[in-house]
Structure 1
Amino acid sequence: MDHQAVSAGAGDDSRAPRRTAEHEADDVGRADEANAGGADSDEICGICLDVYDNPVQLPCGHSFCSACLDGWHQKSKYDVHQPRNCPMCRHRAKPSREIISKLIALTDIVSAYRKAGHEGLEAARMEQADFLGSLLKTGYTSEEIDDMVDEYHNSNIELPYAIWKASHSNDAQTVLDWLGSPVDEGKLASSVMGATILHTTALRGHKELASLLLQYGAAVDVYDYLGLPPILQALHESRGLLNETVTLLYEWGASLEHHVPGEAGAKLDINLKSLPMFHNEFVKRRCEIVNLNHRKDLIGQTCTVEKYIARKDRYKVTTEHARETFLVGRDNLSRRDRTPDDRYYVTFEGGEYRRHAFASNEACREFVRSLRSGQE
């Protein structure tokens, strides 16, 4: 296996990052360090030139770190028109799971529209045919595509319609009964058309149910077949307003990044630019106060960043527990996304949501530990 650095004409299936003499020297050093530790040359990733971390083997036989390969194939992960090849030999690689998920979703939409006599059937059929045609043009046969669809179905837990409907209508009891106790992580990640339970919950604006799902470990930045994360579904429902569901997802670290290709993606970017948090890394984020020497009592406290005041180069923040509002500089903030163990915890008891608020994050963590020990 040839482990030379991938040529500069090949990044993300078409071109690689520019490499300097300093990079080359560093690569040699890392490769020498790896070999000095007993690593065989066949254990070196051809992208980062370091020992494999969670290696993935392509059909051609070449292997790479999972994260390296995912970054290399980033453009082709959601865009069927982007080539997807081996970084070393250029051999065709399999489409991403996201691409296969979208093909399945488009096929299901055509089938549903046909049964219902929906007026959008012809447009849906054309989109599905164009998508399938793009896969065929890259060299895959119909049989290979059918096999990849079957492989996806066999490895993916599909979100049952009854549970999708329950999350759509804020039926928390049905959702929780299905997830089980302790929660089945596979079910939590299940999807239909790429959309998870959190997607549906966010789209409908069910804040408390969304809180439950996030506490149980639901991924906040998972993407549906359109390339949208839950927070953008919530923004769509709120027509761009920063409602409680949008704010909740953002506090949990949601990104505004999307993977909607083409003209639709460009229009979405224009709409996102109207949001205050699009232009600043801290606005509307949850942060920890640091380095505030004139108020050492506030150091370590968590706050929400309300806005950035440009003329003063300061951020207006409000602490979570004492609800004290004041101005701080950028160096006084450290992003701290919400976890299940701080500030408050939401439960569903006797058919009702209960929000348990605490005077400190430590008190919240103790409550959660007690709750979890009782479920084991």
Structure 2
Amino acid sequence: MTRLRFVMPGYLHEATFKGDIKSVLRWINLDRTEDRVNAIPETSEKMDTSLIQVAAIGCQAALVTLLLQLGADIDYRNNAGQTAISLVIIRSPFASAEDRNEVVRLLLIWGASFFSNSDSSRESFVCRARNDCQHELADLLESELGGRRCEIVNLSPRPELNGKTCVADEYLPGSNQYRVTLETKSKEALILDPENMRRRDRTPQDCGCYIEFRNGRTIRHNFDSSEDCQAFVSALNRGEARPAVTEEAEARAEQAAAELLAELGLDGPPSGVRTGDEQAGKPKKKKGGKKKKKKK
């Protein structure tokens, strides 16, 4: 096994586990020529777990997404041969089933692999999910395209959807079909046969949607097509100025963040992503200090 060369400072392991996005991104951006996004701990006591593995164990979905967008190795295996997806399934006992489910689905969309004859095998994941009474997740993991991002192909009833991407949210064993959600702003739900789906994992250049961390919060950008998303990411990579974002447009983008869990087959706002409603409900800080009395 090839050991990753760059090491993270001690404080960053805890910051990553807790989902401190600001601290993690600040450290990574100190020198983008170094492979900091795939850094490992300073000591071997933590089994050489990479940043994305630590974020996955902590069930920090927003941070996991940001690391993947920056090029984190989703299939990196630590000293015990474990990957990010195996760690979140096996080593997140204190996380809720909902949070674990969210991160597992996220990693599947980005192409997390299974490795036979190990803790990272498909059979191991299915067994653990069933033991935890997560039978829907077990069915998803057991199926070939369950949880995966796919491209729609050869769909003669609706040819306009051919080439569009979707996420297989649920496997329907009775009919051997998938309930999918289109990766468009409409988020249309469909039932598709496996022969109309071709796996197309998310990549940093083709990520389907884009999570941005700005002004201390995460904002999700949705697109009507994969081409629009790729153009957006390409513009960012070239350092081109972003289009002006009004408060109204930003509020819409934040509201769209609430749809992330719908895409993952869950309810509620994703971990680390605040919606417009939460911003509106945030209490205002009162100015401290007593008023000075005027002298007569």
Distance in 1, Cα, partners of 2:139 & 2:126: 13
Cα offsets for 1:308-341 (capped at 9, x unmatched):
3333333222212132222222210100111233
Cα offsets for 1:271-315 (capped at 9, x unmatched):
256612332111111111100112101111111113333333332
Cα offsets for 1:139-174 (capped at 9, x unmatched):
xxxxxxxxxxxxx7xx72222212212212222222
Given that residues 305 and 315 in structure 1 are in contact (C-alpha distance below 8 angstroms), is that contact kept between their aligned partners in structure 2?
yes
Q: Structure 1 residues 298, 268: closer, same or farther in 2, change over 3 A? A: closer
Cα offsets for 1:67-99 (capped at 9, x unmatched):
xxxxxxxxxxxxxxxxxxxxxxxxxxxxx55xx
| Residue in 2 that maps onto 1:254 | 112
Does 1:225 find its partner at 2:79?
yes
Distance in 1, Cα, partners of 2:61 & 2:23: 17
Does 1:336 find its partner at 2:197?
no
Does 1:172 find its partner at 2:21?
yes
- Runs of 4+ deviating beyond 6 Å: 265-269
Distance in 1, Cα, partners of 2:231 & 2:189: 27
Q: How far off its partner does 1:180 sit? A: 1.9
| Higher radius of gyration, 1 or 2 | 1
Q: How far off its partner does 1:269 sit? A: 6.7
| Residue in 1 that maps onto 2:66 | 212
Distance in 2, Cα, partners of 1:228 & 1:259: 12
Q: Structure 1 residues 305, 343: closer, same or farther in 2, change over 3 A? A: same
| Overall identity of the aligned pairs, in % | 31
| 1:185-334 matches, cutoff 5 A | 185-192=34-41, 193-236=47-90, 237=92, 238=95, 243-257=101-115, 260=118, 270-271=127-128, 275-321=138-184, 322-334=186-198
| Residue in 2 that maps onto 1:161 | 10
Distance in 2, Cα, partners of 1:346 & 1:310: 33
Distance in 1, Cα, partners of 2:231 & 2:214: 19
Distance in 2, Cα, partners of 1:337 & 1:212: 16
Paired residue for 1:352, among 206, 213, 217? 217
Given that residues 38 and 52 in structure 2 are in contact (C-alpha distance below 8 angstroms), is that contact kept between their aligned partners in structure 1?
no
| Residue in 1 that maps onto 2:265 | none
Counterpart of 2:105, as a letter, is: T
Q: How far off its partner does 1:240 sit? A: 5.7
Given that residues 38 and 73 in structure 2 are in contact (C-alpha distance below 8 angstroms), is that contact kept between their aligned partners in structure 1?
yes
Given that residues 285 and 305 in structure 1 are in contact (C-alpha distance below 8 angstroms), is that contact kept between their aligned partners in structure 2?
yes
Cα offsets for 1:175-226 (capped at 9, x unmatched):
1222126734522222122200001111111111111110010000111222
Q: Structure 1 residues 210, 308: closer, same or farther in 2, change over 3 A? A: closer
Counterpart of 1:160, as a letter, is: P
Counterpart of 1:336, as a letter, is: R
Q: Aligned with 2:107: secondary structure? A: helix
Q: Structure 1 residues 301, 244: closer, same or farther in 2, change over 3 A? A: same
Q: Aligned with 2:35: secondary structure? A: helix
Which gives a bigger RCO, structure 1 or 2 (Cα 8 Å, sep 6+)? Answer: 2
Counterpart of 2:84, as a letter, is: P
Distance in 2, Cα, partners of 1:280 & 1:250: 12
Number of corresponding residues = 222
Distance in 2, Cα, partners of 1:280 & 1:268: 12
Output the aligned Cα RMSD. Answer: 2.8
Q: Structure 1 residues 231, 239: closer, same or farther in 2, change over 3 A? A: farther
Counterpart of 2:230, as a letter, is: R
Q: Structure 1 residues 182, 354: closer, same or farther in 2, change over 3 A? A: farther
| Residue in 1 that maps onto 2:259 | none
Q: Aligned with 1:170: secondary structure? A: coil
Q: TM-score, normalization: structure 2?
A: 0.66
Distance in 2, Cα, partners of 1:229 & 1:185: 22
Given that residues 228 and 258 in structure 1 are in contact (C-alpha distance below 8 angstroms), is that contact kept between their aligned partners in structure 2?
no
Cα offsets for 1:334-355 (capped at 9, x unmatched):
0011123343111111221121
| 1:124-135 matches, cutoff 5 A | none
